[in-house]
């Protein structure tokens, strides 16, 4: 049987009569309703599968499906570190749902991102409190630059380790258990850090907290993508960055309230405990991802019928419907076919080295370069050390420095909204070029302040605000958006895995090195170095990074990568 694609609001695959192509060429063409171009039959038809053409999410579906529609969400797709495409349950029409039924399955996983952001904001104030002879409440407050770097970057090394470990065990754990473990690590890390009697125990707590970050930042987007209705998947996933920024603002705010308290750094780090407990209890109350249950069945980890029934019960609970309702049964049947074909396609994929070859290498250069420059232009240092920078910039009282940090956090939140609202209107390149130019200017201003503008503390505040604002409309959200778009479907999972490891690795190195380099080079020369790197990154964006606005993933692969 042959197929054609009709031009409707959703992709629709319809069977054609056998004699319709009786005298046609063996290389027939089909009309793609996404880009309104004809496509060769041989490019998309295989012995068992048909590719729904173009759109933000190309997908192979079995030939025996006579009618199949794919709802196109604004957010496209999300691939996890193991190479699987996270997809909400497919259906023949947009799924009806109530917003009340999707709030908790989104909020509880998203708390993992909030706790990641909270660590960034809280550390800014905690480093001031921890090093103060009067406020630290310890006898070991006189930390060397290397020791301070380890305290600040300890959670990032844990996150890097967690991201590496979860690569091989994600399918075994499942999204729900992964997030429950992440919540437990957050809880344990917060308690140990807050009660640490010496530096070694403090560093252990930071490492455990970081392991929680690694698991949460992997599991949360997957759980949200796999359990929410497809038509709002893009909206919910785009809020992940917002929850991280909210966490940063919360960390700055807690630091502001606790900075004058003796041992205030303990409260700053310990505040994550109740949030982690809420996250853990919330995830315990939620069902497993229905798609993960179906994946385990397809992998042969248990009886197919048993896993199907568990998936139907999970979906019914997620949508607030009676157990075993007909709609959930139909959605699970459709999803099972999607998971089967995705799993078969993944098994037939190439080896890991494929990502370093041909068009995949070009995609890795673009995506990996963006997340690398995102970090080595000083972003983690500016946020983690915001309080210290402000203190040396004229706000000598720790309380004043932390209060200005809160203002920076609010501004960061507002600029995140601007980026989310304008990225599809203005495009990726204009925001990147404008934002990175502003980052370079702000870093040169910080260097100038430390060199010869020391009597103008508002210059430092203005430079920090300019840095944060420009980062949030450029490297912050757009780097990860480009990473999710630029890799070909076949190697997207492996490519994103490398991008995540590059991100956490470079983040940890820059954060650790900031304090020793500041001591060795001086603040003025360090920010001058970051500014020079920002100029190199601007050149990289102008010469290497393409514009992907309005292009489908198939068009990105065919027009840009090849």
* Domain boundaries, given as residue ranges, for the chain: 98-286, 291-348, 354-561
pLDDT at 397: 62
Residues 6 or more apart whose CB falls under 8 angstroms from that of 15 comprise 1, 2, 3, 66
Same fold yes or no, 98-286 and 354-561 = yes
Which H helix or E strand runs over 61? strand 59-62
Residue 109 has pLDDT above 50, yes or no: yes
In which band, very low, low, confident or very high, does the pLDDT at 64 lie, cut at 50, 70 and 90? very low
Residue 77 has pLDDT above 60, yes or no: no
448-475: average pLDDT: 86
Whole-angstrom CA distances from 167 to 80, 83, 221, 526, 527 are 9, 9, 15, 35, 35
pLDDT at 232: 66
Alpha helices in 139-232 (DSSP H): 145-173, 175-194, 199-227
Highest mean pLDDT among 14-23, 71-80, 349-358: 349-358
In which band, very low, low, confident or very high, does the pLDDT at 76 lie, cut at 50, 70 and 90? very low
Report d(CA 477, CA 159) in Å as an integer.
19
* 126 vs 326, residue with greater confidence: 126
The tokens describing 451, both together, are: 């060199």
Residue 69, beta-bridge partner list: 12
512-533: average pLDDT: 87
Name the CATH superfamily, with its identifier, for domain 354-561: MFS general substrate transporter like domains (1.20.1250.20)
Measured in degrees and rounded to the nearest 5, phi and psi for residue 520 equal -80, -45
Residue 203 has pLDDT above 90, yes or no: yes
Each residue of 52-91: b (16+ CB within 10 Å) or e? bbbbbbbbbbebebeebbbbbbebbbbbbbbbbbbbbbbb
103-124: average pLDDT: 91
pLDDT at 95: 59
DSSP label of 394: T
What are all long-range contacts of 27-34, with beta carbons under 8 Å and residues at least 24 apart? 28/2, 30/3, 30/4, 30/5, 31/4, 31/5, 31/6, 31/7, 32/5, 33/5, 33/6, 33/7, 33/8, 34/72, 34/552
* DSSP letter for each residue of 267-330: HHHHTHHHHHHHHHHHHHHSPPPHHHHHHHHHTTSS-HHHHHHHHHHHHHHHHT--TT-HHHHH
Residue 433 has pLDDT above 50, yes or no: yes
Report d(CA 5, CA 34) in Å as an integer.
10
Which H helix or E strand runs over 16? strand 11-16
Report d(CA 548, CA 462) in Å as an integer.
32
The tokens describing 151, both together, are: 């305290």
In which band, very low, low, confident or very high, does the pLDDT at 505 lie, cut at 50, 70 and 90? confident
The tokens describing 89, both together, are: 């349950």
Residue 337 has pLDDT above 50, yes or no: yes
CATH class name, domain 98-286: mainly alpha
In which band, very low, low, confident or very high, does the pLDDT at 406 lie, cut at 50, 70 and 90? confident
Global pTM reads: 0.69
pLDDT at 395: 66
In which band, very low, low, confident or very high, does the pLDDT at 51 lie, cut at 50, 70 and 90? very low
Highest mean pLDDT among 60-64, 173-177, 539-543: 539-543
530-559: average pLDDT: 84
Helix (H/G/I), strand (E/B), else coil: 14: strand
For all residues of the chain together, what is the average pLDDT?
Answer: 75
How many Cα atoms within 13 Å fall on the side-chain side of residue 82? Answer: 22
DSSP label of 228: S
Alpha helices in 393-474 (DSSP H): 398-426, 428-452, 457-472
Question: Left (φ > 0), alpha (ψ -120 to 50) or beta: where does 40 sit?
Answer: beta
In which band, very low, low, confident or very high, does the pLDDT at 87 lie, cut at 50, 70 and 90? very low
17 burial class (0-12, 13-18, 19+ CB within 10 angstroms)?
Answer: exposed
Residue 119 has pLDDT above 90, yes or no: yes
Of the listed ranges 30-39, 211-220, 423-432, 532-541, the least confidently predicted one is 30-39
Q: Convert the pLDDT of each residue in 365-404 to its tens digit.
A: 998 899 899 888 887 677 666 666 676 666 666 666 667 7
Report d(CA 429, CA 415) in Å as an integer.
17
pLDDT at 9: 36
In which band, very low, low, confident or very high, does the pLDDT at 499 lie, cut at 50, 70 and 90? confident
pLDDT at 296: 80
Structure-derived torsion over alpha carbons of residues 441, 444, 450, 455, reported in degrees to the nearest 10? -40
Alpha helices in 64-144 (DSSP H): 99-131
* 4 vs 99, residue with greater confidence: 99
**What percentage of the chain exceeds 90 in pLDDT?**
23
* Total Cβ atoms within 10 A of residue 455: 8
424-447: average pLDDT: 90
pLDDT at 394: 65
Which H helix or E strand runs over 238? helix 233-258
322 burial class (0-12, 13-18, 19+ CB within 10 angstroms)?
Answer: exposed
């Amino acid at each position: 049987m042959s197929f054609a694609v009709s031009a409707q609001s959703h992709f629709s695959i319809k069977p054609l009569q056998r004699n319709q192509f009786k005298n046609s060429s063996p290389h027939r063409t089909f009309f793609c309703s996404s880009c309104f171009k004809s496509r060769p039959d041989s490019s998309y038809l295989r012995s068992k599968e048909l590719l729904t053409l173009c759109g933000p999410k190309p997908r192979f579906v079995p030939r025996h499906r006579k009618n199949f529609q794919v709802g196109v969400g604004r957010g496209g797709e999300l691939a996890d570190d193991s190479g699987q495409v996270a997809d909400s349950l497919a259906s023949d029409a947009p799924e009806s749902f109530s917003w009340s039924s999707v709030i908790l399955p989104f909020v509880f996983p998203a708390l993992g991102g909030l706790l990641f952001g909270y660590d960034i904001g809280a550390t800014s104030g905690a480093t001031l409190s921890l090093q103060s002879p009067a406020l630290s409440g310890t006898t070991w407050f006189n930390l060397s630059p290397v020791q301070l770097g380890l305290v600040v970057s300890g959670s990032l090394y844990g996150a890097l380790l967690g991201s590496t470990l979860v690569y091989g065990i994600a399918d075994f754990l499942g999204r729900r258990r992964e997030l429950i473990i992440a919540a437990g690590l957050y809880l344990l890390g917060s308690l140990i850090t807050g009660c640490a009697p010496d530096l070694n125990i403090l560093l252990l707590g930071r490492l455990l907290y970081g392991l929680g970050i690694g698991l949460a930042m992997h599991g949360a987007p997957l759980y949200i993508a796999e359990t929410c209705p497809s038509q709002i998947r893009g909206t919910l996933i785009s809020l992940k960055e917002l929850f991280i920024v909210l966490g940063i603002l919360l960390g700055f705010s807690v630091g502001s309230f606790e900075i004058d308290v003796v041992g205030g750094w303990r409260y700053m780090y310990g505040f994550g405990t109740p949030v982690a407990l809420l996250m853990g209890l919330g995830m315990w109350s939620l069902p497993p991802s229905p798609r993960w249950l179906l994946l385990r069945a397809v992998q042969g980890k248990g009886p197919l019928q048993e896993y199907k029934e568990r998936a139907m019960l999970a979906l019914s609970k997620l949508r607030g419907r009676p157990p075993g309702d007909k709609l959930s049964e139909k959605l699970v049947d459709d999803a099972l076919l999607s998971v089967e074909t995705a799993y078969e396609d993944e098994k037939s994929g190439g080896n890991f080295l494929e990502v370093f070859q041909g068009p995949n290498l070009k995609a890795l250069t673009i995506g990996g370069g963006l997340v690398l420059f995102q970090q080595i232009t000083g972003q983690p240092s500016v946020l983690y050390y915001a309080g210290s920078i402000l203190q040396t910039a004229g706000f000598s009282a720790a309380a004043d420095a932390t209060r200005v940090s809160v203002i920076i956090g609010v501004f960061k939140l507002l600029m995140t909204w601007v980026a989310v609202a304008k990225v599809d209107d203005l495009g990726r390149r204009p925001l990147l070029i404008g934002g990175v130019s502003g980052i370079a200017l702000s870093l040169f201003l910080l260097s100038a302040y430390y060199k010869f503008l020391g009597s103008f503390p508002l210059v430092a505040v203005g430079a920090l605000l300019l840095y944060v604002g420009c980062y949030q409309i450029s490297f912050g959200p757009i780097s990860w958006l480009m990473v999710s778009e630029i890799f070909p479907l076949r190697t997207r999972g492996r490519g994103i895995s490398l991008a995540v490891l590059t991100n956490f690795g470079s983040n940890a190195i820059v954060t650790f090195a900031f304090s020793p380099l500041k001591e060795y080079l001086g603040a003025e020369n360090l920010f001058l170095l970051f500014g020079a790197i920002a100029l190199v990154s601007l050149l990289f964006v102008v010469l290497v990074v393409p514009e992907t606005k309005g292009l489908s993933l198939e068009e990105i692969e065919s027009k840009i990568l090849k």
